[in-house]
Chains A and B, each alone.
Chain A
Amino acid sequence: MIGGLFAHSLSYWWVMIPAVLLGNIVGAIPGFSAANTIIILLPLTLSVDVEAALIFMMALYSASQLGNGIPAILVNIPGTGGAAATTLDGYPMAQKGQAQRALVYCFVASIFGGLIGTMFVLVMLPVLSQVGNYLHSVEMVVIILFGLTLIAVIAAQDLVKGLLAGMLGLLIGAIGTDFIYSEPRATFGMIELYDGVPLVPALIGLFAISEVFMLIERGRVVKDEFMDVVVSSKFYDVWLLVKESLRSWFLMAWTALIGVIIGIIPGAGASIAAFVAYQQARTFSKTPELFGTGVPEGVAAPEAANNGVTSGTLVPLMAIGVPGGSTAAIMMVVLQYHGVTLGPRLFIDRPELAYGIFTASFITYLMMIPLMFPMAQYMSRVTTFPAFFLVPTILTFTLLGAFVPRTYMFDMGLAVAFGVLGYLARKTGYHVTALLIGIILGPLMEQYLMRALRISRGEVDILFSSTLGNILWVFLVITLVLPYVRSHMAKQKVEAA
């Protein structure tokens, strides 16, 4: 049956190709996302037959996850929060003239992660559809803590400054109306901040605008001594790099599975998955000290996790009719318009739809191979463009992108304010990613923690009350302690020698 479903999905190649190309473009422009693009294209998806609509949305969603990583590597601007972890090593690689290598790792990890994630979901669907039932507020608190511990990892070079940036990010993330009492907090009297700090302007300011200010100083992305490396790169190099990147298949596979599991949890999403995957990749790396200086594993892990999320987020939608994220919610609207009833019966009544969405995702990722890899060589040349071209182009598309989600002029101004903050932070040795992690994960952490405390009537013991939660706590402690144990053992080994 599965073979037939693959063949059936493949017959929609004419829908997949434009969706992949469009998905890459919207993924690469901050402010745009698969969710708002599908909303814009609703008249199209509502007018075609339900299978074509579903395959189009799935292909666009998968491709946009891959597209997010491209500007993160080339110009240090993540398309969404999910690609912020990719900048940590992707951009240093681009500065060293290795943009092509970073892009190939990004594409391979995205495609490999997407394929593994889809296959895993297809095989384990009945089990995975139950995962959401076991992950409550307490378990979510621990999962988010995995992401937050990345602040300490980033802060390795200067712990105090890194932690201060993270704490400031958490406090900025706590701006807006309180979750329980609905009281405005630190909004400076601005009604636009009542819903909290919007992520897109914060992301654009901290990364894009501050990067533009740095770029004016440097002249171009790639350092002068590496210009020749970029200019002399050849198409054949791409295939050598593909072979090289596939040696990290195990890392990509397990970080993709992290993405699938986190994707299943409603409201979690790609940001948490990418940060957790990066943190885990660093913890279990033989050379953790090199993370952040431009190592390909630092690109592969978050990208594989990002793309694992795409399959995971659809599990609760198809299995129990609960969307795992905003894109899945819009897909649900389209499916309901076409008269599709989501839930367990769908797998019996219309298997071509229920399983077809995953086989379509699988084929979409395969289609990305001929569509994306030939472009890596040309995309890497962006790093050699002069500042007088890059600065206005980046500013235009990111500032306009800041306006798109809420259509407030205020958000463009907010992006500039975050740009100044990001620039000051960079110039004085504070990591903007630590700030961003706080802004993204802070409100989520607060929301789940408050919910847990509310359930227990303020008793902190609830955080250690579930078996799964306690297992996750143990893993968290191992994750935090392991690097120190390993470095201590390595020191002892050297001393003994």
Chain B
Amino acid sequence: MEKRPGLIPELIIPIGAIAFGIYYLSTVWSLPFQARVVGIYVSGAIAILSLIIFVRLAREFASGRKSLGFRGFFTDPTAEVRRWGVLVMTVLFIALMPLLGFTVSLFLFVLGTVLMIAGMERLKHALIIASATTVIAFAIFILLVKVRFPLSIVDTTIRNWVL
């Protein structure tokens, strides 16, 4: 079985940095030199450093110290499922807050995240943590600091009831 770490994860940052450098230069190319100077020098440095990394990885691959693939990047499958689950929950929380409002979206987000990490057997813990976090966050952000988060009828009712 293959035990050497994969080199593909190591390519993500340098390739991403080069792509961003090219995009950056494309947006400033028509500007006077003074406005381009930072982009040119920094993107140039990124290209040189990335090239050094590519050469280093190629040598490691050639000498058998690295393999193709993602080996070593993804660890324990349970942790991977939890991590992706938490990422999806976070994105959903941000996307749904304008629709569901602050309180409901936050409660569901915390509840889902705890269950995702600890499993259904911790339902009681999840409910306590979700309730406590939502109450504290509501008190700080909505009642005390009055941050303008998207509010639903649930939020305004609670706020009017408390104040």
A contact set with B: CB distance below 8 Å: 40, 160-161, 163-165, 167-168, 170-172, 174-175, 178, 180-181, 183-187, 209, 212-213, 216-217, 386-389, 391-393, 395-397, 399-400, 403-404, 407, 409, 412-413, 416, 420, 424-425, 427-430, 446, 450, 453-454, 458
The reply to whether A168 and B46 form a contact with Cβ atoms under 8 Å apart is yes
Q: Is the CB of A453 within 8 A of B53?
A: no
- Are the CB atoms of A396 and B94 closer together than 8 Å? no
Give the distance in Å from the alpha carbon of A184 to the alpha carbon of B31 in the complex. 10
B122 touches A388 (CB 8 A): yes
B39 close to A391 (CB less than 8 A): no
Question: In the assembly, what is the distance between CA of A164 and CA of B38, in Å?
Answer: 15
CB <8 Å contact, A393 and B35: no
**Complex contacts, B53 vs chain A, CB 8 Å:** 160-161, 164
- 7 new A-B contacts, CB < 8 A, other than A164-B17, A388-B125, A428-B12, are A168-B46, A185-B35, A217-B83, A388-B118, A392-B117, A393-B133, A397-B137
Chain B residues packing against A (C-beta within 8 Å): 9-10, 12-14, 17, 20-21, 23-24, 27-28, 31-32, 34-35, 38-39, 42-43, 45-46, 49-50, 52-53, 56, 73, 75-76, 79, 82-83, 86-87, 90-91, 93-94, 97-98, 106, 109-110, 113-114, 117-118, 122, 125-126, 129-130, 133, 137, 141, 145-150
| Nearest CB of chain A from residue B6's CB, rounded to whole Å | 11
CB pair A388 B117 closer than 8 Å:
yes
Chain A interface, DSSP helix/strand/loop, else mixed: helix
**Residue of A171, A185, A409 touching B150 (CB-CB under 8 A):** A409
A395 to B76, CA, bound (A): 22
B24→A427 contact, CB < 8 A: no
A185 touches B34 (CB 8 A): no
Q: Is the CB of A424 within 8 A of B12?
A: yes
Q: Which residues of B contact A187 (CB under 8 A)?
A: 27
Contact A396 B133 (CB under 8 A): yes
A168 & B17 in contact (Cβ 8 Å cutoff):
yes
Q: Are B125 and A164 in contact (CB under 8 A)?
A: no
Question: What chain A residues lie within 8 Å of B79 (beta carbons)?
Answer: 216-217
CA distance A389 to B76 in the complex (A): 20
Q: A430 to chain B: which residues have CB within 8 Å?
A: 13
Query: Which residues of A have CB within 8 Å of B129?
Result: 388-389, 392-393
Nearest-CB distance from A365 to chain B (Å)?
Answer: 26
Minimum distance in angstroms from A23 CB to a CB of chain B: 15
For A189, the closest partner residue in chain B by CB is: B27
Q: Are A413 and B42 in contact (CB under 8 A)?
A: no
Q: How far is the CA of A393 from the CA of B131 in the complex (A)?
A: 11
The distance in angstroms between the C-alpha atoms of A164 and B53, with both chains bound, is 10
Shortest A141–chain B CB gap in Å is 13
Q: A167-B42, A181-B35, A392-B133 are in contact. Are A416 and B109 (CB under 8 A)?
A: no
| Minimum-distance CB pairs A-B, first 5 | A388-B118, A392-B113, A388-B117, A164-B49, A186-B24
Contact partners of A416 in chain B: CB under 8 A: 87, 90-91, 94
Taking a contact as CB atoms under 8 Å apart, the answer to whether A174 and B38 are in contact is: yes
B17 touches A391 (CB 8 A): no
* CB contact between B13 and one of A185, A209, A399, A425 (< 8 Å): that residue: A425
